[in-house]
Amino acid sequence: MPDTTTPLNVLFLCTHNSARSILAEALLNDMARGRFKAFSAGSSPRAQQQPHPLGLQVLQRAGVSVQGLRSKSWDEFAVAGAPQMDLIITVCDNAAGEVCPIWPGHPATAHWGYADPSEGEAGEEARLEAFRQTMHMIRRRLELLVNLPAEKLEKARLQSTARELPGQ
């Protein structure tokens, strides 16, 4: 059984680390109840990349803290001294197909694909609604994850368990 006093580290990956992965990081840290510690990163964040303002807005409206959220490269988590991940989840199809770094400890991996709520030329209200919907889809899946029994979180079973959690 996993050590219940040490939270499982979960890294959410996306290409730019500005929308979906940021939403997932903030939501899981809000819901974790001491069982998880969430991080997020991007495979190729743009120079001066910041979390998308509409993403931050929907999180705040949902009562989720946005303190400390920032866009960052996945390189930060592949170096000596970085937190060792137990589970890495890609949340966009681009990042799922990219060659990832070799992660220390060989964490479990899963892909939970979500459409990019920041894409498109829709007006701000429609884009805000896209962010709300994406946040709710991610939250539903994370609720399943945080409520898993301890034996489902054992390293050998974590990968298949995370991959099997229903999306929508």
When divided into structural domains, the chain yields a total of 1
Global pTM value? 0.86
**How far is Cα 168 from Cα 166, in angstroms, rounded to an integer?**
6
Cα–Cα dist 91/111, whole Å: 6
In a domain, 168, yes or no: no
| 8-66: pLDDT as tens digits | 999 999 988 999 999 999 999 999 988 999 999 998 887 788 999 999 999 999 999 99
Residue 107, domain extent: 8-156
- Is residue 36 included in any domain, yes or no? yes
Query: Residue 58: inside a domain, yes or no?
Result: yes
87-90 vs 8-14, strand pairing mode: parallel
- Both tokens of 100, joined, read 């990832």
